[in-house]
Amino acid sequence: MLRSSRAVLATAACLVSLSVFADTASAAQGLFMFDLSRPSLHDSKPRPGYKVKSNKVRLAPEFRRQIVAYKSNQKAGTIIVNTGEKHLYLVLGDGKALRYGIGTARDGFEWSGTHKVSNKREWPGWTPPEEMKRRQPNLPDYMPGGINNPLGARAIYIGSTLYRIHGTNEPWTIGQDVSSGCIRMVNDDVEDLYERVKIGAKVIVL
């Protein structure tokens, strides 16, 4: 009886250890893995270039946040959005920049220009523009901030335009032409950028 009890306890301890190991490994990779079970407003699905397994999506290496060599005559703190590359660069100075993967405007909604950051919001609410509601009549008049909101965890407002640099509840769309003009990032990345960028910073969209 004693041996049987010890065997049961040993088995239970093994299972707990495996569970803790799995949770720790998952947390360590959390920067690049995202839960696909959260609902969204759109029917977009994971695209090529992303690994999908067990309801998770991992960013392709070229879209992961990283410091890169970057030549620019812009001062540190400037945001440069290269829509062709699907990269956003935050100029650091000394020939370096922090590079993020982004999702950009689909055909017919592209734009370019130079503006300044005019506002910043955490977990912003979303009021779909009238022209967007005409294209998608099922959209609500207003959606409060939260995990189901397509603006994601943070929004950085670009000048007096309708466009923002914002998070997303569809992380698999990074690297794609998917938006109506806004620049989207995974929530981890837009939270990082949000903390680094000041209101009044220059934003250049190429």
Catalytic residues: 166, 182
Instruction: Name the DSSP class of 25.
Output: H
How far CA 64 is from CA of 50, 60, 102, 173, in Å, comes to 12, 7, 10, 13
Strands in the chain per DSSP E: 33-35, 51-53, 56-58, 66-69, 79-82, 87-93, 96-101, 104-105, 113-122, 154-158, 164-166, 177-179, 183-184, 202-205
Euclidean distance between CA atoms 166 and 42, whole angstroms: 16
